Amino acid sequence: MVHTFDQEVEARLVRYCRIDTQSDETSPISPSTANQLDLLRLLVDELREIGASDVTLTDYGAVLATIPATIERDSPVVAFLAHVDTSPAFNASGVKPIVHRHYDGGDIVLPDDQQQVLSPKHSAYLGSKTGDEIITSSGTTLLGADDKAGAAIIMAMARHLLANPDLPHSPIRVCFTPDEEIGRGVHPDLPGDLGVDVAYTLDGGPLGEVVYETFSGDKAVVHIDGVSIHTGHAKGELVNALYLASKIVMTLPQVTLTPETASDRQGFIHLYHMNGTAAAADLHFILRDFDDELLAAHGKLLRQVCETVQATEPRSAITCDITPQYRNMRNWLERDMRPVDLAREACRRCGIEPFSAPTRGGTDGSRLTEMGVPTPNLFTGMQNIHGPLEWISVQDMSRAVTVCLTLAQLGSEQ
């Protein structure tokens, strides 16, 4: 496919990244933050402008649209999805995207925090992008290519298909979800509202990546009740919840892996938020592993540590609540690898050698696959996500558009 989508995906990504869409796991509403609706409503307007059908913003904050089939025979209905929210892990307000033209292969110093330096010395992948347009933040925020790059790619694909009705393809559904970063991107109604046979998320990394294996994930909240009393009368009476919390935190790294010590197929227990006082404290963890039995073992270990610490101070009350978040999509996709094989073939037809490696994270596709819609994950080019050194190549995004277009055509052949 000879089309280049460089200018379009660049303009879309820059426009989308300027909109603050950070999600908030403490919020009970959906979307969890109102500002996600700013981008969701913009995408509704843009879909209508390019002629998409059935454009809808659901009451749970997902945008859905249809690109009607251009062939008469029955063929699978395919969806392409991306999420609009950005991670709560780092500042996402006031993003100023910067396009570094014709990257020269050297260091990129981010202007608003010159301690933030992208270097090919630390990223062989960046070193392979000489001559590309590289998009970064200004250094004090994340960029938001995770996953606004996916949104830009899907919108470019949708516009091209609608502008070229001679291209053969089956019915295509487009979907943009909120709150993926906090594990709430797939509402229970979404699979039925999508109404598709197979789906693909555009939420992956390097050029050619086709993901069919992700972490399984649980969330754990440990609550500690101590005994509060005036410090002047505390001797023999005070039970400091913060001290007990610190015992739990310091015990765990000695008996299990954490993200900074784990790699490849190793799972971990990760403390990502804590708050409280001497009277009461909360610890928030994520548990991750590729194997569901090992994931359950992480939860069992965390509970055992909590019970051991409580035993040192019977007057305290320590609870550990664990809830499922998502499961490894491989558990279902390996039963029928046709969606993965089609994605690989689409890459090859575009002159890209596909590869698959376990992803140390999850996607909306993890939940969708578990709920009955097989949903592998495709590359966008995003790198260093969830931090100030996030970057992406415009040319990687452009080539992802061509792969999606080819995949749409391949779907019509099945």
3-state SS assignment for residue 9 = helix
Tracing tokens 């190549």 back to the chain, one arrives at 393
Nearest 5 degrees, angle CA 126-CA 129-CA 134? 80
Least Cα distance to 370 among 326, 334, 323, 324 occurs for 326
Kindly name the residue from 180, 181, 213, 364 that is annotated as catalytic: 180
Q: What is the C-alpha to C-alpha distance for residues 27 and 59, in angstroms, rounded to an integer?
A: 16
| C-alpha pair distances (Å), 58 with each of 17, 37, 133 | 22, 11, 35
Q: State the DSSP string of 183-250.
A: T--S-TTHHHHH--SEEEEEEE-STTBEE--B-EEEEEEEEEE-B---GGG-TTT-B-HHHHHHHHHH
Q: In which order are the strands placed within the sheet that holds 280-289?
A: 268-276, 280-289, 216-225, 317-326
Residues 6+ apart with CB under 8 A from 107: 117, 118, 119, 120, 121
180 annotated active-site: yes
Q: How many CA atoms lie within 13 A of 9 on its CB side?
A: 33
Structure tokens at 224: 């500690």
- Whether 20 and 92 have beta carbons less than 8 Å apart is answered as yes
Kindly name the residue from 46, 85, 146, 396 that is annotated as catalytic: 85
Residue 284 CA from chain centroid, whole number: 19
Q: What is the C-alpha to C-alpha distance for residues 345 and 358, in angstroms, rounded to an integer?
A: 19
Positions annotated as catalytic residues are 85, 180
